[in-house]
Amino acid sequence: MRSFSLLFAAIPLASAHVYARAPDGLVKANDFNYTDLGGPLNWYALNTSANEACSNGHHQSPIDIVTDASDYTPVSSLNFTVSTVDSARFENLGSGLEVVITNGSLVANNKTFPLAQFHFHTPSEHRVNEEYFPMECHFVFQTEAKEIAVIAFLMELSPFGYTTPLFDHVFAHLDDIASPGTYTETDKLDFSGLIEHFNSHGVYSYNGSLTTPPCSENVPWYVSTEPLHVNVQQYRAVKSVLKFNSRYTQNAIGQPNLLQVSAKEVTKQ
Ligand SMILES: *[C@@H]1O[C@H](CO)[C@@H](O)[C@H](O)[C@H]1NC(C)=O
Ligand SMILES: *[C@@H]1O[C@H](CO)[C@@H](O)[C@H](O)[C@H]1NC(C)=O
Ligand SMILES: *[C@@H]1O[C@H](CO)[C@@H](O)[C@H](O)[C@H]1NC(C)=O
Ligand SMILES: *[C@@H]1O[C@H](CO)[C@@H](O)[C@H](O)[C@H]1NC(C)=O
Ligand SMILES: *[C@@H]1O[C@H](CO)[C@@H](O)[C@H](O)[C@H]1NC(C)=O
Ligand SMILES: *[C@@H]1O[C@H](CO)[C@@H](O)[C@H](O)[C@H]1NC(C)=O
Ligand SMILES: [Zn+2]
């Protein structure tokens, strides 16, 4: 198992939501994770210069979205587009499952952010009025100047065995990438249903951060108010590969970082 992942170049890399790829096209697994000293409480210590915002930032994600207090962005002011592709690369990064696809963009705040990738978390990272969800999907956009924006979808279990069709095609060959550092190809991906979903519901918005190292801030988040559906079989299959990759809920935006607050308490005599 170990030699297998080494073969697939599981080289530690202090990277972000937007992962670098090895020159030979193999996947680099990430050094951070969600367990023990690789986990979110210790991300800062993995690289105190690169990951400074993880412990000191005051605008960190994910958050509990309080619907009465949240900002909402009119969906008509956003333009989320992704073109249909015959297939896309689907990678197991150890810290998550990611589809690398650049055939899309988001126009927000009068700026065009090209799509970089989308990936999944289980359980959800955001809460809504304290409620969490079984999964969450993040579409990450990044400009050449490295400005990042994220569109997020919470994912709820369907009581009718229904799965958002796009996900059937994404997860079609999930079994191939059970090991970190491996990748496969998705089936044909048609995003029109997903985009229609996004365009026909509300959008919670706030300025937060990457939820993985280096936790960079000034990231506008656009979270669809209506969760997507996933069926129980698919949820279990994804969970068995994705394991657990959810950062703990951060303080309300603008409030001191919870790690700073606790560190002060811990060192008090
Ligand atoms: C998590 O990351 C830490 C630090 O990189 C590493 O020592 C540990 O083995 C990893 N644990 C798992 C379960 O991947
Ligand atoms: C920490 O991050 C900085 C900036 O990204 C990088 O130059 C440095 O090599 C990293 N240090 C370690 C020990 O990974
Ligand atoms: C949205 O962006 C797409 C792709 O860039 C473009 O073709 C389309 O005209 C835009 N729609 C609006 C309403 O601006
Ligand atoms: C998607 O983007 C890739 C890389 O830029 C390009 O080769 C491909 O033709 C694009 N596919 C579609 C359907 O736009
Ligand atoms: C958007 O940018 C264009 C071109 O830079 C500018 O003409 C326009 O006034 C801007 N609109 C808004 C709402 O900021
Ligand atoms: C996020 O920051 C941008 C740029 O400073 C600002 O225009 C926007 O209103 C902010 N959004 C929210 C929801 O606070
Ligand atoms: Zn994410």
**Tens digit of each residue's pLDDT, the chain (269 residues):** 333 333 333 333 333 333 444 444 456 777 899 999 999 999 999 999 999 999 999 999 999 999 999 999 999 999 999 999 999 999 999 899 999 999 999 999 999 999 999 999 999 999 999 999 999 999 999 999 999 999 999 999 999 999 999 999 999 999 999 988 899 999 999 999 999 999 999 999 999 999 999 999 999 999 999 999 999 999 999 999 999 999 999 999 999 999 999 999 999 86
Contact 230, 161 (CB under 8 A): no
Calculate ∠ Cα 13-11-170, nearest 5°.
85
Question: How do the domains of the chain map onto residue ranges?
Answer: 36-249
Give 35 Cα–ligand 1 centroid separation in angstroms.
Answer: 6
Helix, coil or strand: residue 169? helix
Whether residue 38 has its Cβ less than 6 Å from ligand 1: yes
Whether residue 5 has its Cβ less than 6 Å from ligand 6: no
Q: Which two tokens stand for residue 98?
A: 């990611």
Q: How much is the pLDDT for 26?
A: 56
Whether residue 77 has its Cβ less than 6 Å from ligand 3: no
Q: Which two tokens stand for residue 115?
A: 């799509």
Give 181 Cα–ligand 4 centroid separation in angstroms.
Answer: 24
What residue owns the CA closest to ligand 1's atom 8? Answer: 38
Give 27 Cα–ligand 1 centroid separation in angstroms.
Answer: 17
Q: How many CB atoms lie within 10 A of CB 146?
A: 9
Q: How much is the pLDDT for 23?
A: 42
36-249: CATH homologous superfamily?
A: Alpha carbonic anhydrase (3.10.200.10)
Measured distance CA(47)–CA(252) in Å, rounded: 24
Q: How much is the pLDDT for 30?
A: 78
Give 21 Cα–ligand 4 centroid separation in angstroms.
Answer: 18
Q: How much is the pLDDT for 19?
A: 44
Helix, coil or strand: residue 212? coil
Whether residue 267 has its Cβ less than 6 Å from ligand 1: no
What residue owns the CA closest to ligand 6's atom 13? Answer: 206
Whether residue 71 has its Cβ less than 6 Å from ligand 6: yes
What residue owns the CA closest to ligand 3's atom 10? Answer: 79
What residue owns the CA closest to ligand 2's atom 6? Answer: 50
How do beta strands 64-65 and 127-128 pair?
parallel
**pLDDT (tens digit, 9 = 90+) per residue, 106-152?**
999 999 999 999 999 999 999 999 999 999 999 999 999 999 999 99
What residue owns the CA closest to ligand 1's atom 7? Answer: 38
DSSP assignment string, the chain? -HHHHHHTT-------SS----TTSPPPPPS--SSGGGSGGGHHHH-TTTTHHHHH-SS-S--EE-TTT-EE--GGG-EEEE--BS--EEEE-SS-EEEE--SEEEEETTEEEEEEEEEEESS-S-EETTB--SEEEEEEEE-TT--EEEEEEEEEE-TTS---HHHHHHGGGGGGG-STT-EEE---B--HHHHHHHHTS-EEEEEEE-SSTT--EEEEEEEESSPEEE-HHHHHHHHHHH----PPPPPPTTSPPHHHHHHHHHH--
